[in-house]
Chain A
Amino acid sequence: MDGQSKLPADDLLLEIRGLKTHFFTQDGVVKAVDGIDLRLKPEQVLGLVGESGCGKSVTSLSIMRLVGHPGRIVEGEIFFEGQDLLKLSEAEMNRIRGNRISMIFQQPQSCLNPVFSGGRQVTEVMDIHTGQPHDLNQKRTLELFRLVGIPDPEKKIKAYPHEMSGGQAQRVMIAMALAMRPKVLIADEPTTALDVTIQAQILDLIRDMREQLGTAVILITHDLGVIAEMADEVAVMYAGQIVEQADVETLFERPLHPYTQGLLGAIPVMGRCAGTLQVIPGIVPDLVDLPPGCRFAPRCAQREKYGLAICDQKMPEMRPVENGGVRCWLYQSAPGHQAPLWPRRRNR
């Protein structure tokens, strides 16, 4: 009965608590995801942003329970529609994957099976999850192809992945993901492999689909531009942890964490022709051998500016602030450490 008190609030669709996914390799334990908390509301677009190796993809694979050897979810809970996904049997999980939660990936062409037509692969999803007759599902596939804007759908339904462009293949993936009207769509770098004009088409499509079908989206990307266009809520990841979380306006207007500030300063913005870009010095830490304190400390310019000693020694907590939270010693005190800055005030 202790589960009762832990059930997520009613307005949450998906809640991740203290998720840790580690990879047990020959070189040591890679802490790819190391204690993250996330909450997704219905119809919300939650952006997960960070650089390569920060654990954003492993987070999404953990939600789907698709982490393969040598990786393992070592701790945490993932509540979806009142049940902990991590406690389900494989058969129960199969009924959720592709049905209640589905996923699209970065390389659409390599995620489709090359020996079956796109249409058949979309129909298969419905054959598995619905009891409906095959020809009814085929009709629905045609509708889906039309819905996701594939030109000439009657013909394209028979096309094989190699006969499609990258943009078309991603549309087929989206049709497949949305076939069962899932509650949650996880989009892992859905436009990174696509050209910018095609990227704009696909982002528009994801936005439309959310409005029409009411699907909540977890959007994983390294591109802050895409986040600004799409997300309602944003979590910034660094070295396996969430370092800052806020609604999208707040994050871009008043970023608190030095890493978020650095990321925003490092992107070239159109119309500001010349000038030197702000740089985050150094590289991301080795996930096997992490620094004991704040993981960003070795690269942090603010730490030097304020002469903070604690950053190297102790990990800061995720501290709630107005419209979000931040994990940084600049905004929290500890014995022997006085926070040098006030965060955004939390008034609600």
Chain B
Amino acid sequence: MSADMAVSSQPLIQVKGLTKHFPVRGSLLKKNYVRAVDDVSFTIYTGETLGVVGESGCGKTTLGRMMLRLIEPTTGQVLFDGQDVVSLQGKALKTFRRQMQAIFQDPHGSLDPRMPVGEQVVEGLRIHGIGTPQERHERMLELLRQVGLEDYHAHRYPHEFSGGQLQRIGIARALALRPRFIMCDEPVSALDVSIQAQVLNLLKELQGEYGLTYMFIAHNLNVVEHVSDRVAVMYLGKIVELAGCGEIYARPLHPYTQALLSAIPIPDPKLRRRKRAILTGDVPSPINPPAGCRFHPRCPLAIDICAEQEPMLQEMSQDGVDHLVACWRAGESSFV
């Protein structure tokens, strides 16, 4: 996303061994857990966009919410600018929240239907006691204009807007506190193609203007690839591959990434007869994920070790391009 601005090598967020297990009903003696996110570690650098992609139930939303402390992690650390977010309490947590904001998937569901949108945009400022009412009003108008809305929109209620406009309001609200980091959780998947492009372009402009850092969660690889500097691919609560966006497209090493890439319908009828790798079966349940590599029951390349031992994320860089992959057979062969 930020080809025109420098991505620094300064880490903004470091996630270390982040894990979330949700308890679910089990037998009397044994409690079962949904392993939504399991021992995930990665770094987000200042000014970059990290794309997180995966199918439903892979834990991408849980991961994003834990980083914002919207849900409490089971174990693990999230360091924001070197400070551990997980241990923050009370006032310190509240002050910290200014720095991180979120944009959600369902623009209707994430706004209050009974409050004029203008008030919602600057509600954060009011909560944090920033500025006088007059200053807040001015800031609100400034924010609305910035996301392409007009002054008169401020007094309207959410039901008076289209999905694309509501998403713009959501973005204005996220910007109000001048955060450094915005977690975008499927911000365009509820929108039509033509509106989706408008919102993606807006996010990109704002990033250039304010030097924002994004984590962009989506299931649509096309969109993720379009906006991200680096892409993490998740499968059943684990990151299976992480690389620069051009790199992951040109040289996908994990068989799951290869399958994902080849499953995307390409808007070009001439490529219809291309060779594709189509996975069989469904994603297994995260309650009792398969032993060893979680992908092995669906993996066409699986060998004995895959069922026994879990592969760790390891460096597979080539020509100085970062590339991490968790696969016993990474780089050996490709099945596409």
Contacts and interface: CB of A to CB of B under 8 A. Distances in A.
A266 B193 contact: yes
Interchain residue pairs A-B with the least CB separation, the first 9: A225-B265, A268-B226, A195-B55, A200-B263, A280-B194, A266-B197, A277-B197, A51-B192, A274-B3
B162 interface: yes
A224 interface: yes
Nearest to A227: B267
A225 B264 contact: yes
Contacts of B262: 200
Interface string A166-205: 0110000000000000000000000000011111110110
B263 A280 contact: no
Contacts of A9: none
Contact of A279 (B201, B220, B276): B201
A52 B196 CA distance: 12
B267 A248 contact: no
A130 interface: no
Interface in A241-299: 248-249, 252, 262-281, 283
B266 interface: yes
Interface in B231-280: 245-246, 249-250, 259-272, 276, 278-280
B282 A228 contact: no
Given A51-B192, A270-B221, A273-B225, A196 B266 contact: no
Given A197-B260, A270-B222, A263 B193 contact: yes
A151 interface: yes
Interface in A131-183: 151, 165, 167-168
B153 interface: no
B164 interface: yes
A229 B272 contact: yes
Contacts of A279: 194, 197-198, 201
B154 to A, nearest CB: 19
Q: Is the interface of B mostly helix, strand, loop or mixed?
A: helix
A129 to B, nearest CB: 31
B223 interface: yes
B7 to A, nearest CB: 12
Nearest to A53: B192
A22 interface: no
Nearest to A272: B226
A89 B226 CA distance: 52
Contact of A228 (B223, B260, B272): B272
B282 A270 contact: no
Contact of A273 (B226, B266, B267): B226
A252 B268 CA distance: 7
A51 B193 contact: yes
A222 interface: yes
Interface of B: 1, 3, 55-56, 162, 164-165, 192-198, 200-201, 204, 219-223, 225-226, 245-246, 249-250, 259-272, 276, 278-283
A318 B245 CA distance: 43
Interface in A197-250: 197-201, 203-204, 222-229, 231, 248-249
A273 B261 CA distance: 14
A276 B204 contact: yes
A228 B192 CA distance: 18
Nearest to B1: A274
B266 A229 contact: yes
Contacts of B164: 283
Contacts of A227: 267
B245 A273 contact: yes
Nearest to B224: A268
B283 to A, nearest CB: 8
21 contacts: A165-B282, A195-B56, A196-B220, A196-B260, A200-B276, A200-B279, A222-B192, A222-B193, A225-B264, A252-B270, A262-B194, A263-B193, A264-B267, A266-B194, A267-B267, A268-B222, A272-B226, A273-B225, A274-B226, A280-B197, A283-B195
B225 A270 contact: yes
B200 A268 contact: yes
A231 B198 CA distance: 27
A342 to B, nearest CB: 24
A237 B250 CA distance: 35
Contacts of B265: 199-200, 203, 223, 225-226, 228-229
A281 B218 CA distance: 24
Given A51-B194, A275-B226, A276-B204, 14 more contacts: A151-B281, A196-B260, A197-B263, A201-B278, A225-B265, A225-B266, A228-B266, A228-B268, A228-B272, A229-B269, A263-B193, A266-B193, A268-B200, A270-B221
